[in-house]
Structure 1
Amino acid sequence: MKNILNNKSRSRFGISTLLVVGSAWIFSSCLDLQEDPGVARLAPGSYSNQAELELGVTGLYSQLETMAQWSTFQVAGWGGDDITTHRASNKADFREYDQRAVSPLNARSASNWRDIYAVVRAANSVLANSAELELPNKDVQDALIGEAYFIRGFMFYHLTRIHGEIPLHLDINPQVDLSKSSQVEVYQQIEKDFKQAEAFLPNLYAGVSKGAPRPNKGSATAFLARLYLDWAGYPVKDQSKYALAASSAKSVMDNANSHGFALVQDFESLWTVGNRFNDESLFTVAYSVANGLSNRKYGKLGHPSDKLGWQETFAEIKYFEDMPEGVRKEATYRTDYNWEDFTDQANPVFLKIVGPEGDISLDDFNTDRNDYMMRYAEVLLIYAEAQARAGAANDDAWEALNKIRRRAAGLPFGTPDASVDLNSGDLAELVFTERKWEFAGEWLRWNDLVRLERVEEALSQRGNVKSKTSAGVQLAEPNAIIGSLGLDNYFAPIPQNEIELNPNLK
């Protein structure tokens, strides 16, 4: 039996043995597909066999990888108080998010919107074309359909975190005049997609690399937990969802072994190329330079020109100053740099972006670094916070927080340690603060500030820096806030070109 992904397809998809090849069960067909999944060609009309369904699903991953390889995919993350960008250069669109003055003409917003809906349309096609399909191996069919639901839900979720109310394209045919759905309706659709994925996906894909490069049942449950945490906050503020967030997170925790999830002990190893497939990632977007699909968000893009970088993603000074010293801070920032004396732009550098010394070459912006769309650490902190905000703080919730605190201190995370463990106080607020430090530079802080309406509180403090150059010159954040920090400016405007095409989106 031939391998059904030919060399051309393997190269374009960029996953080789990491994902599809090596998943023996998913490629049990004896057909030899000649189509290139990178252009997501789908069979016309209904699928008639397993190979066509596999090709459709493979195309979804290819589109997601091609889109997510650029910093544009995470454009909203520059709104947080942890991340900033270059004061000039060609970073104007990132600066708009950084300075809270996002224009409807923002090109990064427009690109993201277009690419996300392209994946949504492809997922709709997969689901519609497989509606009447009955394969001999129902487990294979269910898993593939589950992946399509997961990716569609993931796409809607990513977009609504940027823009709030969005149109819900659910039909295989283009709907050119579709209006925005309410925030509740958007959340309900995402919930439905993730629940469908949860029902169809296997507990664990055999033969697939660590980190769920193909999402499993636990991946879907984890994203449901994150969704419910957002749903309980701004703008809907349905606090009944805290209990659902907690129960979903606890389900992932209780079944972590069966899903292949766990904390890694060495925090810094998460940001190395060699450990890019690991148990902590709950859904990984994988890349491979050798196979033609690189990640272009890391390495050079996190350095100033002083370090031969392309000055795109920097750390904010105040956030860096406030972060507690210790193992986690050393694994978050390049503290070996005298960043205060950079002549290009004096901002700290994220180790999470550029890697430890020598890990990513400064000669190229193409890297093998994977993207962790969610880490197991977040599940633990969602559980602890949601339990507390639901008024049900318990020993398990405190232990979930303490595991993260122990690792941050360089201690074995599974062993109680009185020097760092907490068991009293406002658990919800303690977790909120822990999330601040744990996820610094991972494009997540902005969403936390939005859901708890803390944008003004956080961003109004970002300019109060203490750092100076070696000559004693006071430093300042390069991109001052110029837009509103109020609720009216939490979500980015829908791209103007989309409104011109469809006035119903106003």
Structure 2
Amino acid sequence: MKLIKPYITACLLLLLTASCSKDFLKEDPRSNLTPDNFYKTSNDLNMAAIGLYTQVNGAFNQSAGFSTLWGGDDMTVARAGNKISYSDFDTYQANSSNDRMTNWWSYFYATIKSSNSLINNYQNATEASEDDRNHAAGQAYFFRALSYFFLTRTWGEVPLTTDNTVDYNRSKSQPAEIYALIVADLQKAEAMLPDAWDGTKRQSGVDIPPTRGSAKALLANVYLTMAGWPLKQTDKYVLAAAKAKEVIDNKATWGYDLTTNYADLWKRGGKFNHETVFGCYYNVNVSGWAWENYNMLTPNAYAPDDEGGWGDGYGEINFYKKFPPGPRKEATYQSVYYINNDPNDAVDWTKTLHKHPYFFKFRDDDAFNPVNHVNNNWIGSHTVPVIRYAEVLLTYAEAKAMSASPDATAYAAINQVRNRSGIANLVAGLSQAAFRDSVIAERGWEFAGAEPAARWYDLIRTETVAKANSDRDASEEALKNIPNDASHTFYWAPIPVGDKQLNPNL
């Protein structure tokens, strides 16, 4: 106290002395950052772009946002404790008060707000080179498109803004209007982003920010989605196939390819890999507390309760049973479980507490001990692949078949994914519909679990949500409501209650 009191007295004297000066109340705007005085140099643009990654990382580094995907037939969860918010989507009873889904809503809109600021001001950076201005804006266009893509696929009609004006009466926009902006943004990103980065933006030969190839890959997926529900613009199949083929034909330009072994994607040594077309990168060793730098999908989130995990979600039984055996299935799901982390008490999934197969994706991080399955930390550094080259191949296969017919190139694309997974070539001579269904099934197995290339979105665009969920094992939590593929009930998540209270038009 003897040391603190003089300090307080000195501070009060300083404050009082300053308050006697007429200049004390004068504001000096030179020290306040505003769009008018911030966007001047290349460093300013770089700082603004880095801020976008923080927000996107926050969207994909935890189970919360992914909760809206539990409506698919690949994931389920125990209806108890803090898992009820996930279960609400799994059993079709989620409402506007669901606390988990707001993670995506908030982070994606934060990304859009920052992207809007950069897009509307990058030309003011007269001290930066034209390349630096274009590269910064290209990233902002990419991230705004990515954010709206996830928002409209998850919530359908959402507010659309390209500025940062606060408007509590803004109406929701129709998906067609939202997709028009997404396409326009990605076309700009294609033109403005580089083919490769240098310096710290390139790690182990892998580009961390999005590149021209990333924009093309995302645009291909956007076109494919536009061809399905709700827009049903089937002319977009041709565009999806053409854009995906650009990526495939020029994969060497961006260094894309399938990893030789599927399991390598999920090993701790696979942080930087050439299959990730765009990903979120994390580093648990960053000093201080930096929430968006840490990945909370690993190693605890999907670990079984029997091994001290959180059990945020696990595989649905019938989906697991239909999953083709081979190295992909072995890498996707945990095969052996150590009760109370005792290797001498090893069981299969049927003997676990919840009697379900758990996903092994994201488990093998630095904090995971493979000897006894102990998780020594609840945060990790695992990369979250937002777009994978496997998705580009499957997008091309489906779009090519639906725009014309399942030709040799479409078969070659899907067979690359199947062969890497230990599965034989797809049977030849399939009809257009049968081939498409085979691709959808392949996508389900390839991206099962908490991956951004989610099974849920495939079920929505193909209007098969109810059909997929009709094949549900009797031991699963019973559905509270039944989705309808004709009326599309329960296809979209409810708008978060907080925003609805602020804006009556939501």
TM range (shorter): 0.7 to 0.9
* Structure 2 CA distance for partners of 1:42 and 1:295, relative to 1, 3 Å: farther
Query: Is the 1:110–1:497 contact (alpha carbons within 8 Å) kept by the matching residues of 2?
Result: no
Match of 1:483 in 2: 481
Runs ≥4 residues deviating over 4 A:
41-46
* Structure 2 CA distance for partners of 1:421 and 1:163, relative to 1, 3 Å: closer
SS in structure 1 at match of 2:300:
helix
Aligned letter for 2:460?
Answer: V
Match of 1:230 in 2: 225
Tell me by how many angstroms 1:84 deviates: 1.3
Match of 1:457 in 2: 467
Deviations 1:161-202 (A, max 9, x none): 110111111113223321111110011111111111111001
Aligned letter for 2:409?
Answer: D
Deviations 1:312-334 (A, max 9, x none): 12111111111111111111111
Taking the TM superposition and a 5 Å limit, the aligned residue runs for 1:316-327 are: 316-327=316-327
Given candidates 416, 421, 425, the residue that maps to 1:420 is: 425
Aligned letter for 1:445?
Answer: R
Rounded Cα–Cα distance in structure 2 between residues aligned with 1:392 and 1:420: 17
Given candidates 273, 278, 281, the residue that maps to 2:276 is: 281
SS in structure 2 at match of 1:335:
coil
* Structure 2 CA distance for partners of 1:269 and 1:370, relative to 1, 3 Å: same
Rounded Cα–Cα distance in structure 2 between residues aligned with 1:157 and 1:447: 11
Taking the TM superposition and a 5 Å limit, the aligned residue runs for 1:26-105 are: 45=37, 47-105=39-97
Given candidates 145, 151, 158, the residue that maps to 1:159 is: 151
Match of 1:257 in 2: 252
Tell me by how many angstroms 1:449 deviates: 0.5
Given candidates 440, 463, 475, the residue that maps to 1:432 is: 440
Given candidates 101, 105, 120, the residue that maps to 1:113 is: 105
Query: Is the 2:39–2:122 contact (alpha carbons within 8 Å) kept by the matching residues of 1?
Result: yes
Given candidates 354, 372, 392, the residue that maps to 2:385 is: 372
Match of 2:361 in 1: 352
SS in structure 1 at match of 2:158:
coil
Given candidates 407, 411, 418, the residue that maps to 1:398 is: 411
SS in structure 2 at match of 1:352:
coil
TM-score, length-scaled by structure 1: 0.84
Aligned letter for 1:463?
Answer: D
Give unmatched runs, 5+ long, in structure 2. Answer: 1-30, 338-347
Tell me by how many angstroms 1:361 deviates: 5.2
Match of 2:237 in 1: 242
* Structure 2 CA distance for partners of 1:332 and 1:201, relative to 1, 3 Å: same
Match of 1:24 in 2: none
Deviations 1:41-85 (A, max 9, x none): 765556121111111111111122233222122222211111112
Query: Is the 1:167–1:178 contact (alpha carbons within 8 Å) kept by the matching residues of 2?
Result: yes
Given candidates 386, 389, 398, the residue that maps to 2:402 is: 389
Tell me by how many angstroms 1:439 deviates: 1.3
1:194 aligns with 2:186: yes
Query: Is the 2:315–2:356 contact (alpha carbons within 8 Å) kept by the matching residues of 1?
Result: yes
Rounded Cα–Cα distance in structure 1 between residues aligned with 2:298 and 2:79: 19
Aligned letter for 1:69?
Answer: N
SS in structure 1 at match of 2:124:
coil
Deviations 1:387-437 (A, max 9, x none): 111124321111001111111117xxxxxxxx5354321322221221121
SS in structure 2 at match of 1:349:
coil
SS in structure 2 at match of 1:488:
coil
Match of 2:140 in 1: 148
Aligned letter for 1:198?
Answer: E
* Structure 2 CA distance for partners of 1:172 and 1:131, relative to 1, 3 Å: farther
Match of 2:494 in 1: 493
Query: Is the 2:38–2:44 contact (alpha carbons within 8 Å) kept by the matching residues of 1?
Result: no
The structure that has the greater radius of gyration is: 2
Rounded Cα–Cα distance in structure 2 between residues aligned with 1:482 and 1:429: 28
Taking the TM superposition and a 5 Å limit, the aligned residue runs for 1:276-315 are: 276-291=271-286, 292=290, 293-315=293-315
Query: Is the 1:387–1:393 contact (alpha carbons within 8 Å) kept by the matching residues of 2?
Result: yes
SS in structure 1 at match of 2:320:
helix
Bigger mean CA deviation after superposition, 110-119 or 321-330: 110-119
Rounded Cα–Cα distance in structure 2 between residues aligned with 1:228 and 1:211: 26
Deviations 1:191-225 (A, max 9, x none): 11111111100112234025542000010111111
Match of 1:469 in 2: none
Aligned letter for 2:118?
Answer: V
Deviations 1:439-486 (A, max 9, x none): 11125100010000111111111225xxxxxxxxxxx12x32112311
Rounded Cα–Cα distance in structure 2 between residues aligned with 1:247 and 1:457: 30
Match of 1:217 in 2: 212
* Structure 2 CA distance for partners of 1:363 and 1:260, relative to 1, 3 Å: same
Query: Is the 1:334–1:349 contact (alpha carbons within 8 Å) kept by the matching residues of 2?
Result: yes
Match of 1:467 in 2: none
Between Structure 1 and Structure 2, which shows a larger proportion of strand residues?
2
Q: Percent identity of the aligned residues?
A: 35
Tell me by how many angstroms 1:355 deviates: 3.3
* Structure 2 CA distance for partners of 1:161 and 1:212, relative to 1, 3 Å: farther
Give unmatched runs, 5+ long, in structure 1. Answer: 1-34, 36-40, 411-418, 465-475
Aligned letter for 1:168?
Answer: L
Aligned letter for 1:450?
Answer: I
Query: Is the 1:198–1:221 contact (alpha carbons within 8 Å) kept by the matching residues of 2?
Result: yes
Rounded Cα–Cα distance in structure 1 between residues aligned with 2:87 and 2:36: 43
* Structure 2 CA distance for partners of 1:42 and 1:347, relative to 1, 3 Å: farther
* Structure 2 CA distance for partners of 1:56 and 1:64, relative to 1, 3 Å: same
Given candidates 385, 407, 411, the residue that maps to 2:420 is: 407
Query: Is the 2:238–2:403 contact (alpha carbons within 8 Å) kept by the matching residues of 1?
Result: yes
SS in structure 2 at match of 1:227:
helix
Aligned length: 445
Bigger mean CA deviation after superposition, 277-286 or 352-361: 352-361
TM-score, length-scaled by structure 2: 0.84
Q: In angstroms, what is the RMSD of aligned CA positions?
A: 1.9
SS in structure 1 at match of 2:159:
coil
Match of 1:445 in 2: 455
Query: Is the 1:101–1:484 contact (alpha carbons within 8 Å) kept by the matching residues of 2?
Result: no
Deviations 1:297-344 (A, max 9, x none): 12211122211111112111111111111111111111223111112x
